[in-house]
Structure 1
Amino acid sequence: MSFRTAQRHGYAVEFSPYYPQLLACATCQYYGIAGSGSLFLLESLPQGVRPVQKFDWNDGLFDVTWSENNEHVLVTASGDGSIQIWDTAQPQGPIKSLREHTKEVYGVDWSLTRGEQFILSASWDQSVKLWDPAGNKSIATFLGHQHVVYSAIWSPHIPCCFASTSGDHTLRVWDTRNPQISKLVLTAHDAEVLSCDWCKYDDNVVVSGSVDSTIRGWDIRRPQSPIFQLDGHKYAVKRVKCYPFERNVVGSSSYDFSVKIWDFTRPQPCLETIEHHSEFVYGFDFNLHVPGQVADCSWDEWVRVYTPKCLAPT
């Protein structure tokens, strides 16, 4: 099932944590180099993917995350250095725009652990900021990366803990109670690290994807070397996601126009390669409610919702 974001190039896609049929896609005009951006709210139905709402912003939108405490609220990351908080019940525009970063915001994430309601923003100004969505100023700024920060992702298990990835080849782990210094700094790859995600079944495992075309898994208790490496993409790995229904499964999207599904415990870990795009595949996500279902989005203007054969129910 597919939907075309006409004249908007896909950067990120994420399923709703509340409704199995809803997903959001952040897009940019002119490949994110110039122009405006749009946030699409989509509904995946048996007869196809249909648009529910569309929100426009005056700069490109590079990432999107859903609120974990309000089914109507989403947050986007923009090329103008701001993050936007949207309420689907108020379609006239964002209910709040927060601007402190001095360069593009490339990643946003909403906290997952119980009792926390915070947003992370990762920016090309080499910083990560922590926000309370109820406030108008950031709570803390995390400095240490020596290049652009591409992603900042909350641990689903450990309160106050997140990981960030950067063009400086490192993955860092932080405690929000001590923003002055990162808990862990590891040189994760030999090139820029574009993405990371936490294993849903092991508090200590985080997965990274890089411009060097590899995916690596790390145990943060023993970070001297990766616990696995996945080779097979031909170009940069733009997004990695850990599967919410099996410990050993990882999904990835790449500049090589493909999505791959992996089982990192197998001798031949690549379970399936999906090639249904004609441009960079920037966004990828697993549906938390429907085992096996995934969504991706690409610079070719298409969002696709499907179940890879290797994840199909037996």
Structure 2
Amino acid sequence: MGDQTIEVILTTSQQQYAVPSTPLSISSTVGPVELNALVNALLEESQPDWKKIDFDFLVSNEFIRGPLKNLLGPAGGETKVVIEYLESRPAPEPEDCLLHDDWVSAVQVSDKWILTGCYDNSLHIWTKKGAHKLSISAHDGPVKGVAWIENDGSSATFVSASCDQTAKVWKWSVGSDTAKCMFVCRGHERSLTSVSVNPTHKLMATGSWDALLKIWSAGLEDASPVILEETPAKKMKHEKSPVRTPILTLKGHQGVISSTVWTEVDELCTASWDHTLRLWDAELGGVKLDITFNKAFQCIDWSPLNKTLLSSSADRHVRLHDLRSAEYSQVQTTFTNHTKLVTSVHWSRGDENLFISGGHDNEVKLWDRRSFRTPLYNLGGHEDQVLCCNWSEPQLIVSGGADKTVHIFKTKHAKQYMLT
């Protein structure tokens, strides 16, 4: 499609930025820069004290990143094109860099606290402002997964999964320098790779190199706490703790389960190096859905806001799956910008369209699912492979990597809601 004149109608859901809906004639070669100038000029006509701001533009729910004609097809598409615009999201601001003694392989944020797990077998708790609160010598092997269970302000419980074939549940009295190992989950025969907690905080799931998915009770009522011996530098030694066995052991995968995520109170999804995604019924213990792909899956995350699943594979792509659609086996969208394997993906819990990804190219990228060709921002800082990332708190992005650091970015204009 060459240069031609088309009619467009400008519309927005942000009524403070609304302009007349009269059709306008513009060139098909116009892009975001020219559209920005047009909308700001129209707003200045109706608001003399108007101060210019930046907007993003969409056609058919896809961001315009180049000339408008790129989204209209060879024949130019419709005679009238509806262009939606919204205020551009500001770039996240780097807040802090948290130094560790070894690779940071797991991270999750909850309320005021950041929980990290490392290859030196340790767990760490930090404030969101970067102050180190607690270090625990937690396992006999690298920590590969962490998850907060509950946090009531005065105390918090969390779980860690390790290459020592165990998961451990911990209770921390907020403000103190001590932690208790409440119980140890034993049953896997090989290293654990991931752990996740269901929406009611009553159940946990673990995946492992033994290709088994195990469901555990996360409740503390039937576990006797063991107080750990305190040592200098806020470090703790672990002693013998009560052992808990799984409620369910689910078989089906033929390779390592690389990632687990709960989609409902009694439903969860697993990703595996056997090239499959599986949706499980955690109450009945059966497989509800089995999706086969041509690459090993590295990580998955589920959005409770838009009810879709993100996956990363060994081919450097991130993919979007709608497990509720009739065509669930088909990939809805593919996001390509990383240059190496993508190790971690995580949806924003404050905006249904936004997510982050981290990979072996040392990059963390902030995406809008309506812009699959180009990420909104590249979040620099890591000097080695990114191994984990998390966006559990709408205004805080965190990532950990093989450079032994956790990077914190503060986001702006996040919607002021969270799912509980």
TM-score of the pair, normalised by structure 2? 0.66
Residue-by-residue CA offset, 1:14-34 (whole Å, 9 max, x unaligned): 001xx2x311001013xxxxx
Contact 1:161 1:175 in 2 (8 A): yes
The aligned residue for residue 60 of structure 1 is 142
Q: CA deviation at 1:286?
A: 1.0
The aligned residue for residue 82 of structure 1 is 166
Contact 2:334 2:372 in 1 (8 A): no
Whole-angstrom distance in 1 between the partners of 2:354 and 2:105: 23
Whole-angstrom distance in 2 between the partners of 1:69 and 1:53: 16
The aligned residue for residue 116 of structure 2 is 25
Q: Residues 285 and 267 from structure 1, CA distance in 2 versus in 1: closer, same or farther, beyond 3 angstroms?
A: closer
1:124 is aligned, of 173, 188, 209, to: 209
Contact 1:68 1:110 in 2 (8 A): no
Whole-angstrom distance in 1 between the partners of 2:151 and 2:260: 19
Instruction: For CA contacts below 8 A with separation 6 or more, give which structure has more relative contact order.
Output: 1
The aligned residue for residue 274 of structure 1 is 379
Whole-angstrom distance in 2 between the partners of 1:246 and 1:186: 27
The aligned residue for residue 198 of structure 1 is 302
Whole-angstrom distance in 2 between the partners of 1:176 and 1:287: 23
Q: What's the RMSD between the two structures over aligned residues?
A: 1.8
Whole-angstrom distance in 1 between the partners of 2:179 and 2:277: 38
Whole-angstrom distance in 2 between the partners of 1:267 and 1:59: 38
Equivalent residue runs for 1:134-283 within 5 Å: 134=219, 136-155=244-263, 158-179=264-285, 181-188=286-293, 190-203=294-307, 205-220=308-323, 221=325, 222-266=327-371, 268-283=373-388
Partner secondary structure for residue 68 of structure 1: strand
Q: CA deviation at 1:202?
A: 2.6
Amino acid at match of 1:271: L
Partner secondary structure for residue 241 of structure 1: strand
Whole-angstrom distance in 2 between the partners of 1:106 and 1:267: 29
Whole-angstrom distance in 2 between the partners of 1:41 and 1:69: 13
Contact 1:152 1:162 in 2 (8 A): yes
Amino acid at match of 1:50: A
Contact 2:355 2:368 in 1 (8 A): yes
Amino acid at match of 1:3: L
Q: CA deviation at 1:304?
A: 1.2
Contact 2:147 2:195 in 1 (8 A): yes
TM-score of the pair, normalised by structure 1? 0.87
**Unmatched runs of 5 consecutive residues or more in structure 2:** 1-95, 223-243, 415-420
Contact 1:55 1:93 in 2 (8 A): no
Q: CA deviation at 1:201?
A: 1.6
The aligned residue for residue 105 of structure 2 is 11
Whole-angstrom distance in 1 between the partners of 2:400 and 2:384: 10
Question: Which of the pair has more CA radius of gyration?
Answer: 2
Residue-by-residue CA offset, 1:107-141 (whole Å, 9 max, x unaligned): 001111x4x61010111100110001245210001
**Unmatched runs of 5 consecutive residues or more in structure 1:** 30-36
Q: Residues 267 and 79 from structure 1, CA distance in 2 versus in 1: closer, same or farther, beyond 3 angstroms?
A: closer
Residue-by-residue CA offset, 1:89-117 (whole Å, 9 max, x unaligned): 383652211111000011001111x4x61
The aligned residue for residue 27 of structure 2 is none
The aligned residue for residue 97 of structure 1 is 184
Q: CA deviation at 1:287?
A: 4.1
Amino acid at match of 1:2: C
May I ask how many residue pairs the two structures share in their alignment? 288
Which 4+ residue blocks in structure 1 deviate beyond 6 angstroms? none
Contact 1:257 1:279 in 2 (8 A): yes
